[in-house]
Structure 1
Amino acid sequence: MYQTRIVLAIIFFGLAAGRILYGDIAVGILNVSCGVLLLETARLYKLLEAK
């Protein structure tokens, strides 16, 4: 389950880089924050699976 979230986070970071390069800073920051949230939930899923 956490692998899917990591892949989605990478996609969001790629979208953020594209948005920031083309001048849409607000959407880029939103994409970065979504990517960070996905990475955090992936980390929590991995911790829960370890128990």
Structure 2
Amino acid sequence: MHENFHEAIDEEESDIIPGNIVKCISWGYRIGDKVLEKAKVVVAK
């Protein structure tokens, strides 16, 4: 997960590496290098 582009809003038990994104709740937006809104994601515990 890249903190500049994603905001972790929850954690979930998963078989994948902890801290990796499990699912995306809402998409983020950016124009060029400027982030307008971070993506809201759920990450693995």
Is the structural similarity TM-score above 0.5?
no
TM bucket normalised to smaller: under 0.3
TM-score by length of 2: 0.25
The structure in which a higher percent of residues are helix is 1
Whose strand fraction is larger, Structure 1's or Structure 2's?
Answer: 2
TM-score, with structure 1 as normaliser: 0.24
Compare CA radii of gyration and give the structure with the larger one. Answer: 1
